[in-house]
Amino acid sequence: MRQDITFSSGSDTCSGWFYLPDAMDAGATLPVIIMAHGLSGVKEQGLDAVAKRFARGGFAVTVFDFRHFGASEGDPRGQLFPHDMVEDFRNAITWSCQQPKVDPKRVGLWGTSYSGGLATHAATIDRRVKAIVAQVPSIINAEARRAMDPDRWEAVGKMLIADRISRYETGAVRTIPVVAPEGEPCLLPGQESLDFFNAGSAAPNWRNEITLESLEKMREFDPVSLIRMLAPTALLIIAAESDSLIPLDALRAAFERAGEPKRLVVLPIGHFGVYREPGLTTSIDEALTWYGAHLA
């Protein structure tokens, strides 16, 4: 059973879907899993299939679009401010816990790619969360990002200063494509990224742009430093062995900082392999096992 839902976050409204199993005992309450997509992603880009699997596994599920993306409100479009998105996760928790079929003491978060880092940070500061699954997550800080390509880091920094000055003087909002053909500037370079988003014909609400100001806020966001405070919330990280966007070494370092209970699963796939078979089923099964153990 899926229904369209909305909830307030800041001065805007987030849109989403809410799922319950087809069969439930009268008067029963269920653990809930709250989900959102990765960088610029919207719920139509594959989240329905994952949520249905979770619901068939006996969970209530809330799936939503972050503010400024998809069916949710927020202007300008494509504005990715991580701390605001963490607030969206927390407001989704509050809405979900108010539903009569949900047990507010059994809350799980699920994040993928960029939302994996957001969900991890949200779970660190919001003690209502008892378990989290972060797949191919962006649990990485500025120091690690700079180490990946120092020259590019400095070049982008100069571009962002120029954009900041321009915004101050004119108020103009400039954007950058999320993906683009080889040789053209974009946020997520590479053919694998381009192929994934070009396959999003079922997601007409997705837009291939992010505001440049978003890059400033992304560089400032640090889901790593506080991860030691996540425990006793149960953390499952599903990593990709051949991830071209999130270095496996960086994820291992973040995982080591976290306390128990925790588990790291490394799949023999690339970053986008969790969205297609066999990585899709494997990652869903790992998540269901984790939630079953820690949201029982």
Q: What is the pLDDT of residues 163-195, one digit of tens each?
A: 999 999 999 999 999 999 998 999 999 999 999
Q: How confident is the model at residue 202 (pLDDT cuts 50, 70, 90)?
A: low
Residues 111-155 pLDDT 10s: 999 999 999 999 999 999 999 999 999 999 888 889 888 998 999
Q: How confident is the model at residue 295 (pLDDT cuts 50, 70, 90)?
A: very high
Rounded CA separation 283/134 (Å): 10
Where do the H-state alpha helices sit in the chain?
Answer: 47-56, 82-97, 114-125, 142-148, 150-170, 191-198, 212-220, 248-257, 279-294
Residues 265-293 pLDDT 10s: 999 999 999 999 999 999 999 999 999 99
Nearest CA among 141, 134, 140, 139 for reference residue 235: 134
pTM summary value: 0.95
Q: Output the pLDDT for position 265.
A: 98
Residues 77-86 pLDDT 10s: 999 999 999 9
Q: Output the pLDDT for position 25.
A: 83
The tokens of 253 are what?
A: 């370092």
Where do the H-state alpha helices sit in 185-237?
Answer: 191-198, 212-220
The tokens of 67 are what?
A: 């503010």
Maximum alpha-carbon separation in the chain:
60
> At residue 99, what is the residue type?
Q
The tokens of 5 are what?
A: 């839902």
Residues 29-58 pLDDT 10s: 999 999 999 999 999 999 999 999 999 999
Rounded CA separation 6/88 (Å): 12
Q: Output the pLDDT for position 274.
A: 97
Q: Output the pLDDT for position 204.
A: 87
- Is pLDDT of 110 > 60? yes
> Please, are residues 121 and 224 in contact by the beta-carbon 8 Å criterion?
no
> Please, are residues 27 and 38 in contact by the beta-carbon 8 Å criterion?
no
Range 2-144+222-294 has CATH code 3.30.1330.50: no
Query: DSSP 3-state assignment of 272?
Result: helix
C-alpha count within 13 angstroms, C-beta hemisphere, residue 289: 12
